[in-house]
Amino acid sequence: MGILMKLVERKILIGLMVTLVVVFGVYGLTKLDRELLPQIDFDYAVISASAGDMGVLDVEERVTAPIEQILAGTDGVEGYQSTTTTGNSSIFVEIEEGRMREVKNELESSIAPLESSVSGLNFVHVMALSTNQDAEFYMEVSGGDLEEMTAFARDVVKPRLESLSSVREVGLSGLQESEFVIAFDREALAENGLDLQQVTGLIQQENSETTLGELSEEEHSPALRWNTAFQSIEDLQEMKVPSANGPVALSELADVSEVANQRSSMAWKDGSRDFIFIEISRATGYTQIGMAEDIRAEVSDIKEAGLVSEFGFNEVVNQADYVVEALDGVTQNVLIGGVLALIILLLFLRNFRATIVAGVAIPVSVLLTFTSMWLFGYSFNIITLIALGLGIGMMVDASIVILESIYRKKEQGYERMEAVSKGVKEVATAVIASMLTTVVVFVPVGLFGGEVGQFVLLLSMVIVITLVSSVIVSFTVIPSLADNFLKLREKDRNKGEKRGRITGGYGSLIGWLSEKKRRRYGMIFLFFLVFAGSMALTTKVPVTIMPDVYNRYAEVPIELEGSLTAEERQEVASAIAEKLDQIPDVASSVLIDDPSFMFMLVNMTTGDQITMDQEDVNVAINDAIRDLEDEYPITSVGMAGMGPMGGEPVQLRVKGADFAASEELSESLVAELETIEGLVNVSTSAEETREEKLLVFDDEAMEEAGITRTEVFGQLQGVFGEVPAGEVVRSGVTVPVIARSADTIDSERSLGDFEIMTAGGPEALSAFASLEPVISPVTIVRDNGERFISVTAGIEGRDLGSVTRDVQQAVNGLDVPSGLSVSTGGDVSAQQEMILDLMMVVAISIFLVYVVMAVQFNSLAHPLIVMSIIPMTAIGAVLALLITQQELSMLSAMGLLMLIGIVLNNAILLIDRTNQLRKEGMSASEAVKEAGQNRIRPIFMTTLTTVAGMLPLALATGTASSYQAPLATVIIGGLLFATLITLVLIPSVYLLFEDVKTGARRMSRRLFGGKRSKRPAEMEEAS
């Protein structure tokens, strides 16, 4: 304390330190990145493999199983789950914490050889999951001639945007592109003793450019180049193909033509593919907002130059807008909260100078927080903005307590530094203890598991930084300004211990409680009855994992049946567009295509055009698409979650060695789930099957005809689809070359009649093979290499918490045969994990709080008195959530943790002052009464200023409202209720402990004898 007072006396040093904080704070503010989500790498990876039209069973055997074998032998892989469909395999990999980069590199090198060794496997891609997205700004070119739009996008948009320093890459899809198609005439091939596979290989061999070697005997040893690469379609047509009849031109064997296509298109806009989708990714070292400003300026220049005509060039999604709106919202909330806090301070102290002193603490604390965030490498994002918004409400608490104590000393007649010294000394231990208890509450948050835990850890770190910054300011800036600047009016000087009506009435209440034991015991019992009643209401509180973070925008995954043709996918996209067109608040939609699902970006109306709340629009979108499930191959639809795997919120896994028994159990589970209110799209992966036809060969007939299966396979190439035959680079543009047969097979009859060339002449395929029906699953899911059946369901009209309880009850009621098991997944599993983690974190936090206070008070009993308030805080929090119908999520659960630290602050103030008065010789009854009267003003002031700071967040309606409002509501409700309880319950519990101590001393004297203590029996009132 002496060192602190010497520091306070050096006001020039304090002034210079404040100046330094301002300079660094402003500089750090300009350097802090601004983004939607913090850059966090999750301990998960996704392995995606594409195998064209390969059947689901073949993909499982030839692609999924080998990759799983690699995963099983890779150190650092903790588990994996695979989903196999026709032509695709997707494997979700759980990786040991902190080893993502190492394991990812090892997997890439181990899996790479599969691409060349597995025939039909196009590519395998390993992607680490993180909040960093490849593209953060999306645009589109639409409404005009596709050829003109392609030229504009390729020749103007891409080079000009990529020239911006803030743009790393511009991706274009939906361009009109050309391809050379070679349609072979089978009769011409047969006449020349050739087949499609053979000629395709010759084309690829001819179309080459390489170095053969060097002429070492010549001067300078020139390299010998070979270049027979095709430059045009004419080169292809004129290529000579060696045959049994001598070299023939390719044009004599096939029709070679140039065809325009839109193969690169990966999306639909409002149901149409006739647009170009532009994805723009950010360069390292630039913010989302900075990139957005650069892009918009360049786009404006492009339009002003008259380069956009007869078509539209518009934005689709710009994440920087959400960041700007969130920043503006928090800034506004901070200003409003700060002003309200100062108004409350002015009303209590009725001293303008005191209000200015406290007002200075807010911006200095904020700038010190910005400096610390910059040094720690944090950014402005959704999570840190929540923390800052909440921290503002508590930022002036320490300053108010110290300022009020100094102010009261000046009211008692002390002057200048003496008032400052005595005022700070009286509350210093309480302020430090309060800060430490709040800080240690957040120490165990690292125990939160999964990706949500990393967000929670970041949130708690910023809150701790904010609180520590505010305490540093309160112990330096406040006392320095209070010495000279804080002056009292004459009528306020030497007020001594005059009490106001509220303070006097409160003192009378505490005196009344201390007179009779039954009164204080009855009060304690009453509070616990109220607590028990409020706990019974917790099941009525809506529960979710993470709230919606978008404003007038939605991302909707749509799961499709496997093996859909391009025409079927187009029909689905058109039907979805028609449905969305009937929802008035849907402004536009972009449907991004993927082999197993579609991902839809929906922009909603804004401003005066809004007719529905965002939640209602989300439900309307879901309902509209679900209406299509009976008519179109849509299996499920739901708003995208925050988890890395996405999918339906309710996911159950049925596992066992007996697959038939597992299928029967899954059907029983589906029947149970269909009876639960709020569950939609209840389905099982086992119910999706398809019929396939298997070619069964007659080996004797083939041997007589002198033909092999390999030859039959070669002759069938190109009749069911296209075969890649290389590429042609024409004027710098790569044009793919595709080979196919002029004859097509689309029925069993045409397949049987298909002529196979043999040594004895052409014969029908039916002479060598027959078709046998085979039933295969559409989707195969495996967990760590073991097949299981997935039972999934969506949620509509109810919150996740209530549905989870019903689902768990249904699972518990199942008669599960021996050898089978049912486990939860999806949001249900995540919520159960969240609740367990939260209970563990709360338990450890309470223990750490007890340790801090036990050291501070040098007592094992006094911390228990303070902590008796903790269960009561839940009463106000539960009631607040129930009244407002806000959801309890991972973020609002953080409000409960914060609440523990905040409400303990008031209790610590009360007990610390009581202990000081006991040391001065007061009895327990007199001490709790006097301490309450001394501390009621700062308790009310800190409570109301915190509530005032939180109020704008609780009432927020903008971008941040969905995740800020529930958190602020928890704190406001819990704090208001807990403050009232603190002032009555803490004195009652304190006196209860004194009663126990007195009773223990009496019993000790009776049992062991001894002299009566000289200390007066303080608690021998008649009961």
Q: Which CATH class is domain 1-31+351-482?
A: mainly alpha
pLDDT digits (tens, 9 = 90+) for 816-835: 888 888 887 655 566 566 66
Note whether 176 and 141 are within 8 A (CB).
Answer: no
Of the candidates 628, 619, 618, 626, the one whose C-alpha atom is nearest the C-alpha of residue 575 is 628
What confidence score (pLDDT) does residue 1013 get?
47
Of the candidates 212, 215, 238, 239, the one whose C-alpha atom is nearest the C-alpha of residue 227 is 212
Find the angle CA(243)-CA(244)-CA(250) to the nearest 5 degrees: 25
What confidence score (pLDDT) does residue 348 get?
81
Note whether 595 and 85 are within 8 A (CB).
Answer: yes
Distance CA(352)–CA(97), nearest Å, equals: 54
Residue 144, both tokens:
């005009």
Of the candidates 103, 51, 56, the one whose C-alpha atom is nearest the C-alpha of residue 79 is 103
Distance CA(950)–CA(967), nearest Å, equals: 9
Distance CA(990)–CA(928), nearest Å, equals: 8
What confidence score (pLDDT) does residue 394 get?
72
Q: Name the H helices within 207-247.
A: 233-238
Split at pLDDT 50, 70, 90, the class of 544 is low
Per-position b or e across 263-280, b if 16+ CB within 10 A of its CB: eebebbbbbebbbbbbbb
Residue 649, both tokens:
């919120």
Sign of the CA dihedral 211, 214, 220, 226?
Answer: negative
- When pLDDT is averaged across residues 381-394 and rounded to a whole number, the result is 74
Most confident of 248-257, 322-331, 595-604, 927-936: 248-257
Predicted confidence (pLDDT) at residue 55 exceeds the cutoff of 50: yes
C-alpha 992, offset from chain centre: 47
Note whether 873 and 900 are within 8 A (CB).
Answer: yes
Q: For the purposes of burial, counting CB atoms within 10 Å of the CB of 178, is it exposed (0-12), middle (13-18) or buried (19 or more)?
A: middle
Give the Cβ contact number of residue 216 at 10 Å: 7
Of the candidates 791, 886, 903, 888, the one whose C-alpha atom is nearest the C-alpha of residue 845 is 903
Give bridge partners of residue 953 from the DSSP assignment.
none
Find the angle CA(205)-CA(206)-CA(210) to the nearest 5 degrees: 80
Residue 856, both tokens:
């501070």
Sign of the CA dihedral 111, 112, 116, 117?
Answer: negative
What confidence score (pLDDT) does residue 643 get?
35
Distance CA(627)–CA(620), nearest Å, equals: 11
Distance CA(74)–CA(512), nearest Å, equals: 71
- Secondary structure E strands in 767-897: 769-777, 780-783, 786-795, 820-825
What confidence score (pLDDT) does residue 484 get?
78
Predicted confidence (pLDDT) at residue 143 exceeds the cutoff of 90: no
Helix (H) or strand (E) holding 732: none
C-alpha 646, offset from chain centre: 10
Give bridge partners of residue 210 from the DSSP assignment.
226
Q: What is the dihedral of CA 140, 143, 148, 154, to 10 degrees?
A: 0
Sheet holding 634-637: strands in order across? 267-269, 586-593, 597-604, 553-560, 634-637
Percent of residues, the chain, with pLDDT higher than 90: 10
What confidence score (pLDDT) does residue 885 get?
76
Global confidence as pTM:
0.68
pLDDT digits (tens, 9 = 90+) for 93-133: 999 887 888 999 999 999 988 887 887 787 888 888 877 76
Find the angle CA(854)-CA(857)-CA(861) to the nearest 5 degrees: 60
Distance CA(924)–CA(1017), nearest Å, equals: 10
Of the candidates 336, 452, 473, the one whose C-alpha atom is nearest the C-alpha of residue 395 is 473
Percent of residues, the chain, with pLDDT higher than 70: 88
Distance CA(522)–CA(518), nearest Å, equals: 6
Most confident of 204-213, 551-560, 689-698: 204-213
Distances 549 to 192, 386, 895 between C-alpha atoms, Å: 66, 12, 17
Distance CA(361)–CA(61), nearest Å, equals: 67
pLDDT digits (tens, 9 = 90+) for 866-883: 888 877 777 888 888 888
Most confident of 120-124, 640-644, 768-772: 768-772
What confidence score (pLDDT) does residue 1016 get?
42
Q: Which residue has the tokens 């511009």?
A: 170
Per-position b or e across 282-310, b if 16+ CB within 10 A of its CB: beeebbbbbbbebbeebbeebeeeeebee
The domain segmentation of the chain, as residue ranges, is: 1-31+351-482, 41-130, 497-540+859-1005
Give the Cβ contact number of residue 518 at 10 Å: 10
Split at pLDDT 50, 70, 90, the class of 619 is confident
Residue 418, both tokens:
């003496």
Q: Which residue has the tokens 């602050």?
A: 905
What confidence score (pLDDT) does residue 900 get?
75
Distance CA(716)–CA(184), nearest Å, equals: 12
- When pLDDT is averaged across residues 798-824 and rounded to a whole number, the result is 82
Note whether 305 and 189 are within 8 A (CB).
Answer: no
Distance CA(768)–CA(751), nearest Å, equals: 12
Single-letter amino acid code for the residue at 708: T
What confidence score (pLDDT) does residue 497 get?
55
Distance CA(587)–CA(315), nearest Å, equals: 13
Average pLDDT, the chain: 81
Note whether 552 and 958 are within 8 A (CB).
Answer: no
Give the three-class secondary structure for 457: helix
What confidence score (pLDDT) does residue 547 get?
61
> Between 3.20.20.70, 3.30.70.1430, 3.90.180.10, 2.60.34.10, what CATH number should domain 41-130 receive?
3.30.70.1430
Note whether 763 and 702 are within 8 A (CB).
Answer: no
Note whether 179 and 734 are within 8 A (CB).
Answer: no
Split at pLDDT 50, 70, 90, the class of 936 is confident
Domains 1-31+351-482 and 497-540+859-1005 share a fold: yes
pLDDT digits (tens, 9 = 90+) for 34-45: 777 787 778 888
Residue 23, both tokens:
């300079």
pLDDT digits (tens, 9 = 90+) for 511-530: 888 888 888 888 888 888 88
Residue 850, both tokens:
């007890």
Predicted confidence (pLDDT) at residue 964 exceeds the cutoff of 50: yes
C-alpha 834, offset from chain centre: 14
Q: Which residue has the tokens 């959704």?
A: 382
Distance CA(559)–CA(637), nearest Å, equals: 6
Going by their DSSP bridges, the two strands 312-318 and 137-142 should be labelled as antiparallel
Per-position b or e across 464-502, b if 16+ CB within 10 A of its CB: bbbbbbbbbbbbbbbbbbbbeebebeeeeeeeeeeeeee
Homologous superfamily, domain 497-540+859-1005: Multidrug efflux transporter AcrB transmembrane domain (1.20.1640.10)
Predicted confidence (pLDDT) at residue 431 exceeds the cutoff of 90: no
Distance CA(946)–CA(940), nearest Å, equals: 10
Q: Which residue has the tokens 């059907």?
A: 667
